[in-house]
Structure 1
Amino acid sequence: MIGKTYTTMLGDRELTLETGKLAKLVSGSVTLRYGDTLLLVTAQAREELSTLDFLPLTVEFEERHYAVGRIPGSFPRREGRPGERAILSARITDRQIRPLFPKGYRHETQVIITVLSADGQNLPDVLGPIGASAALSISDIPWNGPTACVRVGQIGGQYVLNPTTEQLGQSTMDLVVAGTRDAILMVEAGAQTVSEEALVGAIEFAHAGMQGVLSLIETMRAELGHDKFNFQQDSDLSLDHVPALTEAARASGLRDALLTPGKKDRGARLKALRESLISAQVPNPEADGAAALTAQLKAAFGKVEKAELRRLILEEDLRADGRNTRTVRPIWIEARPLPRAHGSAIFTRGETQVLGVATLGTERDAILIDDLSADKEDKFLLHYNFPPYSTGEVKRVGGQSRREIGHGNLAKRAIRTVLPSFEEFPYTIRLVGEVLESNGSSSMATVCAGTLALMDAGVPIKAPVAGVAMGLVMEEGRYRILTDILGSEDALGDMDFKVCGTAEGVTALQMDIKIGGITPAIMREALAQARDARLHILGKMAEVLSAPRAELAATAPRIITVKINPELIGKVIGPGGKQIRELEAMGASINIDEDGTVRVFSADGAAAEAVRARIESLTRTAVAGEEFDGTVVKTTPFGAFINLFPGQDGMLHISQMSEERVNTVEDVMNVGDKLRVKIAGIDDRGKIDLVRPELEGKIAPREPRAPREGGERRGPPRR
């Protein structure tokens, strides 16, 4: 038999890992099945040492449309670049496995996850990391796993392990957790305003639920795992200079330089100090070996700077900008800085600044989705832009990076839960976060700026949302949690923990650990500290905009909703679309749903009202007893046809025209005459019988129409 299979229960379903059957030339290859979702995961590393000075790891998440029995919707009808969901799924795996590669490992490594089958209920994004962990564990690639990844939902107050897509629709949270035997490595969550304690409980539930998967991978590794290759690691000669350089730097004012206010000024002072120390060690830059020694000293100074910053935090509760570990940077906000945008706001926190812009559009502006999910479109878009000038750099400007997509998705999850339903507010909403300055926590500033822009646009959100990024410095059992981290603290710290929410609870959370993991106790403390910061930020936002504006901006388009009988949709469209083209030529866009909901969209309120009136006229339904000032449009020997409103005529019988006998219709009325009429009745075929209200009770009512054998009765009844 080809291949070997391992199984365990994950939640209420069986998880199967198989190896030795597919892709056997790769270092590590595993197929994973959960329900009818099937993935192939491979791991491979180059033998040659990379020249890069960081871990050259890439993770690819490949969606194949045949997995759901569809042909791609692109013009060439084949898969193109990864979509947003595929990129986010790849990031989940990357963030789980990256911290566990050995320090100094510099071999180019690639993990590829290919979705071969997707059943629509068991989502592949949390299965890919399990497959990657198994593939790396049995490969010859040095890696300190295994890890596992699970999803947790909450339905009726009860946690659910790996909920199906259907169950997620009923859940108050969507929490993805990755971890090892003893610690949590990564958390990603969206929630409907849940408490911090509920999130910690869900994380603990997830950690307990993944233990069976970890045992399964450990068994696979013990039985089938290859010996890990001895990776090449350049000796770090800069370490030899650290002790002496530390002493010299402290004596030359390193502490004061690190505590210089302002990122630019602080950088300039540190650069001057570094060059002074290096010039003392390398007096002749042109001498043999001077360039190599200079490079070593520069690297050593970076280590000294990082170590001193960590010492200040741990021992003195003091950070680079002079704050303690619990203080939020100064905040200033401006609402509606852009005169033509539908909604806009500038949110500045310290040296991080984001311009949030809200744009309202029609249902036609919703983004079309062409991936393996069941969703066809999304009416809420959030785009996060991180230009190089925001950090004072010069770089190539191209398409969105994976980082921008990931940060934008976090902000989107944070805000989506407070948006009104489409029935309440029938607009497609686009938010853009333009990062103008960045010194840490720009994604959280995007949440704040985006919320303010929505309120400025008059979007009736349920509650304002704010976000804050937390950090961690941990050494030898000591630790401090940092509120509102700087860019340098993100680089030197051991955790990046972003929390978003309202005053009532959390709406989104993202955590990445750079060490072996943290305990639930530390996470509980970090969440509590983040809540204090979030409430402070929400208070500052409320000073500028405490609630959504009562009216939409003058530049914002108006949407008017009209409900019509679905059987009358054809009247609005007209033959070949003639009628709807005439309506849109009046200055509006029109969208019609199958249930008869018509949405009229126009930047001109008067034009929208005119179109609505026309639609109501076209689709008006006659009701017995109504009276109209009608116009005679046709006469016949037995009566006259009266137009009541556009598209609707009724018949006034000759016997109902006068108290006296009428010989011919033309003796009483002619085409074009106007008269008051009343609907006496409507038969089952929609034919309308009219009477003259002033003659009611003076002449005998007409006998109801009766179908004649072989056809409808025509002409006056016998007298």
Structure 2
Amino acid sequence: MFDNYFRKDIPWGGQVLTLETGKIARQADGAVMARLGDTIVLCTVVGSRSVKPGQDFFPLTVNYQEKAFAAGKIPGGFFKREGRPSEAETLVSRLIDRPIRPLFPEGFRNEVQVIATVLSHDLENDPDIVAMVGCSAALTLSGIPFFGPVGAARVGYIDGAYVLNPTLAQRKLSKLDLVVAGTAEGVLMVESEASELSEEVMLGAVEFGHKSFQPVIEGIIALAEVAAKEPWPLAEEDPAQAALKARIAELGRAQMAEAYRITEKLARQKAVGEVKKAVLATLEAEGADTAAAKGLLKELEAEVVRNAILDTGIRIDGRDTKTVRPIVAEVGVLPRAHGSALFTRGETQALCVATLGTGQDEQIVDALTGEYREDFMLHYNFPPYSVNETGRMGSPGRREIGHGKLAWRAIHPVLPEKEKFPYTLRVVSEITESNGSSSMATVCGTSLALMDAGCPLARPVAGIAMGLIKEERGFAVLSDILGDEDHLGDMDFKVAGTEAGVTSLQMDIKITSITFDIMRTALAQAREGRLHILGEMAKAISGARTEMAATAPRITVITVPKDKIREVIGTGGKVIREIVEQTGTKIDIEDDGTIKIAATSTEATQAAIDRIRGIVAEPEVGVIYTGKVVKTAEFGAFVNFLGARDGLVHISELANDRVAKTTDVVKEGDVVKVKVLGFDDRGKVKLSMRVVDQATGADITDQVGERRPRPPREEGEERPRRERRDRRED
């Protein structure tokens, strides 16, 4: 039945990577079941046979989805089925998209959809790498025009050595989490988080990963030789296109070059738009194909900008290739925020706001690997006004999630340990202006805002975006790229780190690949720019504030015996809720007896500590405590002391003189001083008021003496009724 079933086993990093096709999803243009260990991902590709009329872009969609059954789980929530993509799924979708997108032919406009579905997760091998390889194989087999295949690998750095595809357990020990993808010729994409590693170590990791996935590329090629479908025919170049391109250059090259000499973004965009409008109007009057002309105008625009940089070394805004735009860094710009910063670099600006929370504010993430809590969140927002546009406002898109995670990776390695700074951290970056490198502005602004909030970062972090113009006659690496340089260039290479080393590196290549010599040049130039930016940031703030904002919670950590946690919580949480309500604090209790108390005033914190200490403290014989009468009875009064401890003051211990009725001495709600006499055979506390001076709290046992015994009864004398009752109660 499965006549076209093929399988390829590829030895890889001490394991076997298996690629299967022809058995599942046979109606897709390309379908591959990729397996590493017991992690299995089904990767499918479908392409449209025709192009939508008037479409001038390549509509590629990549969807990565995790099924709960892959880890033997049932989805949470009311509906009990997978819903909208999680942040992790969105990030992996981008991870797959970025290296394959540049490998489709220029001018290819057919819609292509790539879907990767996680069917099994062994909780050791991360499915993201398996999905990247599987999608590359599916595209290679599909017949859709694709200049692949692409290989991918994860690289760790443990004890000074690179590790290929570290397991989830090994990644916890690694100083590096780097994903690299590329072709046999070079690298196309890098995504990483690092613990302040040097540029040499980072470049070595990329080279190690590129070399390590070559067997995967060779295996995909071998599978394609027996299983690939007939390639789609590519549309032949229309001779009229060449003539139209020449006419557009004749009409607009000089004017376009003049427009790109304007250094201010909005004015430049307006001038470029007028040039395009004039050229299209002339072509329309001549009866030319204006739909095709729009795409050719973009090519002319790129040609003008790229050649100007290579010929003169001068960029759109007048800078040379290494100069960073002017920087203004400010902190404390929002009076009620726990920490805030405004970071402006040229025409890019980020308003970053840090908020300190407690354990109750941690994000609960339900992942295939299990539920975990995240105590650092960084949310990036890109409103349309930041680029002088109107647009949809709603939930974050893939770009916003991706940029936020990039900044998160840059900051995460320098955050203090939880024991040193026991706060949940949330930073929001609002991009208020944008002309390139807004994600790196977010890194800089986040670092400033956290220090303004009093978060003791190991060192300040800065980020810079590098660009590339590469032609046969040479190349130029650009520091701190503009939006137009990103759009018209060949590389978007973002580097973030401290003065000690790199914390995050992200690279996307728009051409087939770049050499390691270019990467080495870009890393060295990025370090120069990063150190310059750190110097400018230090003018605003160079380290964490020693005093937090008045509106920020103060967290105090205490510990109690683990066997006392139940008493602090109380039945159904009654005790801890009462403490929280009465003191106005937030309290987190951990299983090891650690208790974190958050409040905006020291008085509230101390009140909560006193209540908790009182609950867990053990009464000591002979010690005097202050308590509250919670109940009266004929035989005495019950007094609550030490928070949640009750003891009995027998009627005979209420006063030195004989007491007829308990309520003659105390009533419910009275605050009294009591001394612990001991414990009865059931462990109940026996208290006395008569041996304590109620005014001063002093012990007056020596003054009042021991309770005088009753005189002996004559033979046959009836025992007084109250004495009979006292004996029963005793």
Residues 547-556 or 369-378, more deviating:
369-378
- Match for residue 445 of structure 2 among 423, 444, 449: 449
Q: Is the 8 A contact 1:634 1:671 kept in 2?
A: no
Partner residue, 2:717: none
Secondary structure of 1:534's aligned partner: helix
Q: Please state if 1:157 is matched with 2:160.
A: yes
Instruction: Tell me which of 610, 614, 618 is aligned to 2:611.
Output: 614
Deviations 1:2-40 (Å, cap 9, x if unpaired)? Answer: 533211222121111111221112111111111111111
Describe the shift of the 1:564–1:323 C-alpha distance in structure 2 as closer, same or farther (beyond 3 A).
same
Change (3 A) 1:306 1:582: same
Q: By how many angstroms is 1:98 displaced?
A: 1.0
The whole-number CA distance in structure 1 between the counterparts of 2:531 and 2:223 is 48
Describe how 1:59-78 pairs up with structure 2 within 5 A.
59-78=62-81
Give me the whole-angstrom Cα distance separating, in 1, the residues matched to 2:617 and 2:238.
84
Residues 60-96 of structure 1: per-residue CA shift (max 9 Å, x gap): 1111000011110122000001101011111111112
- State the alpha-carbon separation in 1 of the partners of residues 542 and 239 from structure 2: 54
Amino acid at match of 1:102: P
Aligned to 2:527: 531
**Who is 1:221 aligned against?**
224
Cα 1:236–1:111 shift into 2, 3 Å: farther
Partner of 1:79: 82
2:17 aligns with 15
CA distance 1:113–1:643, change in 2 (3 Å) = closer
Preserved contact between residue 331 and residue 448 of structure 2 (Cα < 8 Å): yes
Quote how far apart the aligned CAs of 1:588 are: 2.1
Q: Distance in 2 between matches of 1:39 and 1:294?
A: 44
Gaps spanning 5+ residues in structure 1: where? 701-714
CA, structure 1 residues 274+23, in 2 after alignment: closer, same or farther (shift >3 Å)?
closer
User: C-alpha separation between the residues in 2 aligned to 1:685 and 1:330?
Assistant: 77
Contact 1:238 1:299 (8 Å CA) reproduced: no
CA shift in 2, pair 1:652/1:89, >3 Å: same
The 3-state SS of whatever aligns with 2:128 is coil
Aligned position for 1:199: 202
Change (3 A) 1:576 1:534: same
SS where residue 62 of structure 2 aligns? strand
1:47 partner SS: coil
Match of 2:213 among 204, 210, 214: 210
Instruction: Please give the secondary structure, in 1, of the residue aligned with 2:340.
Output: strand
Whole-Å separation in 1 of the counterparts to 2:252 and 2:637: 105
* Percent of residue pairs identical: 48
- Cα distance in 2 between the residues matched to 1:631 and 1:498: 64
Check whether the contact 2:152–2:181 (CA below 8 A) recurs between aligned residues: yes
d(CA) in 2 for partners of 1:399, 1:632: 56
Structure 2 residue 140 is the aligned partner of structure 1 residue 142: no
Letter in 2 for 1:447: V
Counterpart amino acid of residue 323 in structure 1: R
Describe how 1:617-656 pairs up with structure 2 within 5 A.
Answer: 617-622=614-619, 645-648=642-645
- Matched residue, 2:131: 128
Return closer, same or farther for 1:578/1:297 CA change in 2, 3 Å cut-off.
closer
1:401 corresponding residue in structure 2: 397
Closer, same or farther: CA 652–610 of 1 in aligned 2, 3 Å: closer
1:703 is aligned to none
Letter of the 1:517 counterpart: S
Does residue 373 of the first structure (1) align with residue 373 of the second (2)? Answer: no
Tell me which moved more, 144-153 or 614-623: 614-623
Extract unaligned runs of 5+ from structure 2.
692-698, 707-725
Q: 1:36 aligns with which of 38, 42, 47?
A: 38
Q: Does the 8 Å contact 2:611/2:643 carry over to 1?
A: no
Aligned residue number for residue 594 of structure 1: 591
Alignment coverage as a number of residue pairs: 693
Q: Which amino acid aligns with 2:94?
A: R
Q: Give the match's secondary structure for 2:94.
A: helix
How far has the Cα of 1:491 moved from its partner?
A: 1.1
- Contact 1:40–1:115 (CA<8 Å) still a contact in 2? yes
- Show the 5 A alignment for 1:165-244: 165-232=168-235, 235=238, 237=240, 239-243=242-246
Q: 2: CA distance between counterparts of 1:629 and 1:304?
A: 86
Query: Is residue 571 of structure 2 the alignment partner of residue 568 of structure 1?
Result: no
Q: 1:404 Cα deviation (Å)?
A: 0.8
| Offset of residue 477 of structure 1 | 5.0
Equivalent residues of 1:50, 1:56 under 8 A apart = no
What residue number does 2:694 align with? none
- Name the amino acid aligned to 1:546: S
CA offsets per residue over residues 142-178 of structure 1, 9 Å max, x none?
Answer: 1111111100001101110000000000000000000
Match of 2:265 in 1: 263
- CA drift of 1:342 comes to 1.4
Which position in structure 1 is the counterpart of 2:338?
342
SS of match in other structure, 1:472: strand
1:202 offset after TM fit, Å?
0.7
SS at match of 2:127: coil
Does 621-630 or 71-80 show the bigger shift? 621-630
Displacement after TM superposition at 1:354 (Å): 0.8
CA contact (8 A) 2:60 2:113 kept: yes
Aligned to 2:299: 303
CA deviations 1:301-327 (Å, max 9, x no partner) are 433332121112112111000000000
Flag the 1:664–1:394 CA change in 2: closer, same or farther, 3 A: closer
Give the secondary structure class of the aligned counterpart of 2:17: strand
Give the structure-2-normalised TM-score: 0.86
2:426 maps to what in 1?
Answer: 430
The CA distance in 2 between the partners of 1:682 and 1:323, in whole Å, is: 84
Following the alignment from structure 1 to structure 2, what is the Cα–Cα distance between the partners of residues 633 and 272?
A: 85
Answer whether contact 2:614 2:641 (CA < 8 A) is retained: no
| Equivalent-residue separation in structure 2 for 1:60 and 1:631 (angstroms) | 64
1:139 is displaced (CA, Å) by: 1.5
Q: After TM superposition, list the pairs within 5 Å mapping 1:506-521 onto structure 2.
A: 506-521=502-517
Q: Residues of 1 paired with 2:309 and 2:680: CA distance? A: 85
Cα deviation digits, residues 479-520 of structure 1 (max 9, x gap) = 110000001101111100001111111111110011111122
Distance 1:323 1:155 in 2: 41
The answer to whether the Cα contact below 8 Å between 2:251 and 2:279 also exists between their aligned partners in 1 is yes
Does the CA-based 8 Å contact 1:63-1:371 persist in structure 2?
no
Q: Is it true that 1:54 corresponds to 2:57 in the alignment?
A: yes
1:613, CA displacement in angstroms?
A: 2.1
* Aligned 8 A contact 2:6 2:227 in 1: no
C-alpha distance in structure 1 between counterparts of 2:414 and 2:211, whole Å: 31
Change (3 A) 1:221 1:152: same
Q: Distance in 2 between matches of 1:212 and 1:546?
A: 47
Aligned position for 1:706: none
State whether structure 2 residue 469 is matched by structure 1 residue 473: yes
| CA spacing shift, 1:298–1:162, aligned 2, 3 Å | closer
Question: Which residue identity does 2:456 align to in structure 1?
Answer: P
Aligned-residue offset at 1:611: 2.1
Q: In 2, distance between residues paired with 1:277 and 1:634? A: 94
Q: 1:646 to 1:305 in 2, by over 3 A?
A: closer
Q: 2:232 & 2:672 partners in 1: Cα distance?
A: 98
